[in-house]
Amino acid sequence: MQFEHLSITELRKKLDAKELSSVELTKYFLSRINELDKKVNSFVTVCENEALNSATKADEFINSPGENPFLCGIPYASKDLFCTKGVRTTASSKILDSYIPPHNATVEKKIKEHYGVLVGKTNLDEFAHGSSTETSAYGPSKNPWDLNRIPGGSSGGSTAALAAGLVPWATATETGGSIRQPASLCGVSGWKPTYGRVSRYGVIAMGSSLDCPGAVAHTVEDLAHLAEIMSGQDEKDSTTGVQPVPQYSKNLSSNISGLRIGVPKQYFVEGMEEDVKNRVMDAVKQLEKMGAKISEVDLPNTRFGSLVYAIICPSEVSSNLMRYDGIRYGHLSQQAKNLLEVYEKSRGEGFGSEAKRRILTGTYVLTAGYYDAYYKKAQKVRRLIMNEFSEVFKNVDALVCPSSPNVAVKIGGAKENPLFGYIADQLNIPSSLAGLPAISMPCGFGMPSDGEAPSMDGLPVGLQVIGPQWGEQTVFNIGYAYQQETDWHRKYPGV
């Protein structure tokens, strides 16, 4: 029996029917990880013992009377940015190489309460700084569709592990495209929540006004279930919204007749691959055929998104990364002779190139004399972008567009290119700045513009659906409806 391509919803039925136990299922995925992750490098840490212990507990729960929670006994992986009590958490940085958190992130706590089974921690760009996983201190993850290519990032370990069938789902995080872009490049479904929908507590901070913990899975139906479990106000994160969490999964509807969907013309940018554009337009036609009312919409300030992000993100990064001092936890330099050197040398040795670049950039734009010209100005243009989205959402219920201007590029292009991410994520960043919810899901295959694809079909293309703040249900419904009519989400690479 093969389980690697089954959704959580399908595995749930098998566990409930006692066709197999959680221990058996967990061992199945652990053995796939042992066998295949040498090629994919999607895991930083595999926690076999903890996983088998959790699976045993889940089996006990399943064997007792009563209904089982959705995640009960289901293996999953967590992006190595989520603090997991007792399980090494590195943020893919040398500065946290041996860090074992004394606490669980709120998201991990919620999954644990559902008897989810953590099998390991997935690779990412160091501190989530990047769009390729190439800035990871543990080497890049490989795209399961072509091992010479990037999986995207920063949540590339999570999407690569899922695409390779090493886990049925994984946690992920976004600051400006880090769920949607790798989901697109690896041909899986990913959910980036409304800002504040999911608690950031215990998720190692990158840009606090932008960070959104989310998830990747095989289907949008699974994502709706996961959203229900992960969302909600948390007293440990004062930016979580007070809005009650809807029953997203129960409310799923494949009837999108009459739904107003906008296609922003600025999202078909210069340099976009022809196949990406064509596959996305095919999907738009499909949605129209299903009854959606399609219209072209105008978002002229889109092009400023990445520029605003290039100021705000490093500013918040430079503040957040000040906590790594070599004293309370993390790497301590053995070369330091006094306290100042403890800071400077521990940080100099522990942080990689990209983290240093962002710290220095953030420090520069926040320095007295530059603050108004850069940071304040960027936050004003951010308002302009937010207002523009608000206007558009008066006339449409959701937006659809590509998740990435291109399919996966070859490994090596991103490192030491300070602008790589800002360009790779130009279609995701504006909605991140506005705190909007979105998904990316597979909508076909395209040929890369940089060379030959491994098969005649090409590499995965992602369709993005963006909603207004707290508009998760509409976004999930569009994704669910689309996946009822198409089977792009049921294509898998042979690893």
Partner 1 sequence: MLNIEEIKKLAKLARIEIAEEDLEKFASQLSSVLEYVEELKNVNTEGLLEVDQVTGLVNIQRADTVVVSDNREEIFSQAPEMKDGYYKVKAIL
Binders in 362-391 for partner 1, by CB under 8 A: 363-364, 367, 373-374, 376-384, 386-387
Asked whether position 304 contacts partner 1 by CB under 8 A, the answer is yes
| Cβ atoms of residues 458 and 447 within 8 Å | yes
> Interior CA angle at 208 toward 205 and 211, to 5°?
80
Which of 54, 154, 155, 306 does the annotation list as catalytic?
Answer: 154
Helices (H), 97-189: 106-113, 156-163, 180-186
Q: Which of 394, 419, 456, 494 binds partner 1 (CB under 8 A)?
A: 419
Asked whether position 481 contacts partner 1 by CB under 8 A, the answer is no
Q: Which of 247, 274, 278, 339 binds partner 1 (CB under 8 A)?
A: 339
Asked whether position 131 contacts partner 1 by CB under 8 A, the answer is no
> Residue 372 has what DSSP assignment?
I
Please state the closest distance from residue 277 (CB atom) to partner 1, in A.
Answer: 25
Please provide the size of the chain in residues: 495
Smallest CA-to-CA distance from 178 within 147, 210, 202 is with 210
Please state the closest distance from residue 365 (CB atom) to partner 1, in A.
Answer: 8
Asked whether position 67 contacts partner 1 by CB under 8 A, the answer is no
Asked whether position 232 contacts partner 1 by CB under 8 A, the answer is no
Smallest CA-to-CA distance from 126 within 372, 373, 429, 331 is with 331
* Residue number, 340 or 456, with CB nearest to partner 1: 340
The partner residues of 87 in beta bridges, in order of sequence, read: 84
* Residue number, 104 or 249, with CB nearest to partner 1: 104
Supply the DSSP string of 311-362, one letter for each residue: HHHHHHHHHHGGG--SSSSS---SS--SHHHHHHHHHHHHS-HHHHHHHHHH
Asked whether position 392 contacts partner 1 by CB under 8 A, the answer is no
* Residue number, 253 or 390, with CB nearest to partner 1: 390
Told to judge if 79 belongs to the known catalytic residues of this protein, a careful annotator would answer yes
Please state the closest distance from residue 255 (CB atom) to partner 1, in A.
Answer: 29
Told to judge if 178 belongs to the known catalytic residues of this protein, a careful annotator would answer yes
* Residue number, 282 or 341, with CB nearest to partner 1: 341
Restricting to residues 429-458, which ones interact with partner 1 according to CB under 8 A?
A: 433-435
211-223: string of b/e by CB count within 10 Å (b at 16+)?
bbbbbbbbbbbbb
* Residue number, 297 or 311, with CB nearest to partner 1: 311
Please state the closest distance from residue 463 (CB atom) to partner 1, in A.
Answer: 24
Which of 42, 54, 79, 93 does the annotation list as catalytic?
Answer: 79
Asked whether position 100 contacts partner 1 by CB under 8 A, the answer is yes
Please state the closest distance from residue 352 (CB atom) to partner 1, in A.
Answer: 11
Name the 3-class secondary structure at 143: strand
Asked whether position 53 contacts partner 1 by CB under 8 A, the answer is no
Q: Classify residue 203 as exposed, middle or buried by CB count within 10 Å of its CB (0-12, 13-18, 19+).
A: buried
Supply the DSSP string of 233-254, one letter for each residue: -BTTBTTS--SPPP-TTTT---
The partner residues of 398 in beta bridges, in order of sequence, read: 261
Q: Which of 16, 251, 253, 360 binds partner 1 (CB under 8 A)?
A: 360
Told to judge if 257 belongs to the known catalytic residues of this protein, a careful annotator would answer no
Asked whether position 357 contacts partner 1 by CB under 8 A, the answer is yes
For residue 472 the two structure tokens come to 């998760």
Asked whether position 330 contacts partner 1 by CB under 8 A, the answer is yes
Supply the DSSP string of 170-203, one letter for each residue: EEEEESSSTTHHHHHHHT-EEEEPPTTTB--TTB
Please state the closest distance from residue 369 (CB atom) to partner 1, in A.
Answer: 12
Sign of the torsion angle spanned by Cα atoms 37, 42, 43, 49: negative
> Interior CA angle at 397 toward 392 and 400, to 5°?
80
Q: Compose the 250-289 pattern: x for residues touching partner 1 by CB under 8 A, - for all others.
A: ----------------------------------------
Q: How far is CA 117 from CA 3, 30, 264, 362, in A?
A: 16, 11, 40, 38
* Residue number, 49 or 338, with CB nearest to partner 1: 338
Residue 447's identity, in one-letter code, is M
Asked whether position 307 contacts partner 1 by CB under 8 A, the answer is yes
Q: Which of 318, 404, 426, 483 binds partner 1 (CB under 8 A)?
A: 318
Interface segment toward partner 1; rule CB under 8 A; list 71-79, 98-106, 222-230, 485-493: 98-106
Which of 131, 155, 158, 178 does the annotation list as catalytic?
Answer: 178
What are residue 218's phi and psi, to 5 degrees? Answer: -75, -30
Please state the closest distance from residue 149 (CB atom) to partner 1, in A.
Answer: 24
Asked whether position 205 contacts partner 1 by CB under 8 A, the answer is no
Q: Which of 82, 115, 195, 476 binds partner 1 (CB under 8 A)?
A: 195
Asked whether position 241 contacts partner 1 by CB under 8 A, the answer is yes
Q: How many amino acids of this chain bind partner 1 (CB under 8 A)?
A: 72
Q: Which of 156, 157, 264, 326 binds partner 1 (CB under 8 A)?
A: 326
Mark residue 125 as left, alpha or beta (left: phi above 0; alpha: psi -120 to 50; beta: remaining).
Answer: beta
Point out the residues that are catalytic. Answer: 79, 154, 178
